[in-house]
Amino acid sequence: MELRVPLPPFRAEDYPAPGTEDPPGSGQPGGAGHPPGSGLPPGSGHPRSAGHPPGAGRPPGTGDIPRPAGHELLGAVAGWGETVTPAGRLRLLPVRAERDLALVTAWMNDPAVAALWGLGGPEETTAAHLRAQLDGDGRSVPCLGLLDGVPMSYWEIYRADLAPLARHYPARPHDTGLRLLIGAVADRGRGIGSCLLRAVSGLVLDNRPSCTRVVAEPDLRNAPSVAAFLRAGFRFSAEVGIPDRRAALMMRERSLRDLL
């Protein structure tokens, strides 16, 4: 059964130009621009993400691995700025539920996306997934990817060393994970994913000097996704078992950044 939800109309004024949005730090859990649960309708439960299949119940970075006292989390993702890619100018804009919930819900209800993310269904399903991050301590930040000012992808940037994933590989302090969803069907299957992955992993390394590598865990069954990570300069590190699926542990090392 198809789960398609109509896309909301695009309004350029909803997505401010760089330097005109809220100050860095807003749009993050606990930040000035995102009081806990801002704009999210009530609901219960936290549906799975690509890294946490049915039964896991938590999005990336929201597991029960405690945060050491005084530990840096992700910093001000909203202030990472733009990066130029072969596809256009890309920047990350932290999700605001009152602005972005309808759009992210529509993307999550695309059949191909729903099969991997498991978040198809009513708006409350996506809201609960976002709430788990927005109400958290900042170890996972959901973002829109804007290409030349137009939202076209959804990202989750998270502290992999503090996430449940860290139980499945020898994590290093400040390992930073990312997850990508390309919203528009027209943008899929033409190589844009690897372009975006290289750009955003570069933003992570540029803005998080304590991070020595960027990690990801796409589903092994999703061969196009694994191939996109390889083209983006990641290397296959291991096959890891995550509840209900096998994942390809992918890594982009700072030390190999200019070689791959």
In this predicted model, which residue has the larger pLDDT, 21 or 139?
139
Residue-wise pLDDT for 21-62, tens only, equals 654 344 444 443 344 444 554 333 333 433 333 333 345 554
Angle (nearest 5°) at CA 177 between 149 and 128: 75
pLDDT of residue 17: 75
Structure tokens at 53: 């299949």
Q: Which of 13-17, 29-33, 115-119, 256-260 shows the lowest mean pLDDT across its residues?
A: 29-33
Which residues are CB-contacts of 209 (< 8 A; sequence separation ≥ 6)? none
Of 3.40.50.2300, 3.40.250.10, 3.40.630.30, 3.20.20.70, the CATH number of 52-58+82-256 is 3.40.630.30
Residue-wise pLDDT for 141-162, tens only, equals 999 999 999 999 999 999 999 9
State the pTM of this model. Answer: 0.81
Residue 244 and residue 223 in contact, taking contact as beta carbons nearer than 8 Å? no
In this predicted model, which residue has the larger pLDDT, 91 or 29?
91
- What residue spans define the domains of the chain? 52-58+82-256
Does 176 have pLDDT greater than 70? yes
Residue 46 and residue 50: Cα distance in Å, rounded? 13
- Please report, for residues 91, 110, 125, 130, the alpha-carbon distance to residue 102 in angstroms, rounded to integers and kept in the order given: 20, 13, 11, 12
Nearest to 152 by CA among 130, 122, 181, 129: 181
Average pLDDT, the chain: 83
Angle (nearest 5°) at CA 153 between 152 and 158: 155
Q: What is the mean pLDDT of residues 190-194?
A: 92
In this predicted model, which residue has the larger pLDDT, 66 or 205?
205
Exposure b/e, 58-71, CB count within 10 A at least 16 = b: bbbbbbebeeeeee
Residue-wise pLDDT for 67-83, tens only, equals 553 346 898 999 999 99
Does 178 have pLDDT greater than 80? yes
C-alpha atoms less than 13 angstroms from C-alpha of 253 in its C-beta half-sphere: 9
pLDDT above 70 as % of the chain: 78
